[in-house]
């Protein structure tokens, strides 16, 4: 049996749902969610922290007010 090595084959999306999409963020990009549900805000912060540890990527979160609406914004900083 011989193995044929190929280039430029795209990796398909996983079969499971990706809720936050931290892996798609490039350095300097961000996204925000509103403070509609405090539990969802805690879940996002927890997921960002776990992502930092598993992937050695630096994400940071801040509470911001945009157009008078309280939001949690996540940035990829490194």
User: Tokens 């996540």 map to which residue?
Assistant: 74
Q: Is residue 4, in this structure, part of any structural domain at all?
A: no
**Using the 8-state DSSP alphabet, how is residue 21 labeled?**
-
Nearest alpha carbon to residue 73 among 35, 37, 46 = 35
pLDDT number for residue 18: 82
Q: Is residue 68, in this structure, part of any structural domain at all?
A: yes
Q: Which domain holds residue 64?
A: 24-76
Structural domain total, the chain: 1
d(CA 52, CA 64): 21
Q: Is residue 49, in this structure, part of any structural domain at all?
A: yes
pLDDT number for residue 36: 93
Q: Is residue 5, in this structure, part of any structural domain at all?
A: no
List per-block mean pLDDT (blocks of 10 residues) for the chain, which spans 78 residues: 90 83 93 93 95 93 95 95
pLDDT number for residue 64: 95
Q: What predicted TM-score, i.e. pTM, was given to this entire model?
A: 0.76
């Amino acid at each position: 049996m011989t193995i044929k090595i190929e280039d430029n084959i795209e990796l398909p999306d996983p079969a499971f749902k990706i809720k936050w999409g931290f892996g798609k963020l490039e350095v300097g990009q961000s996204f925000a969610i509103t403070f509609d549900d405090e539990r969802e805000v805690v879940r996002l912060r927890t997921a960002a922290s776990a992502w930092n540890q598993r992937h050695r990527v630096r994400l940071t979160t801040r509470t911001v007010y945009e157009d008078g609406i309280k939001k949690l914004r996540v940035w990829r900083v490194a």
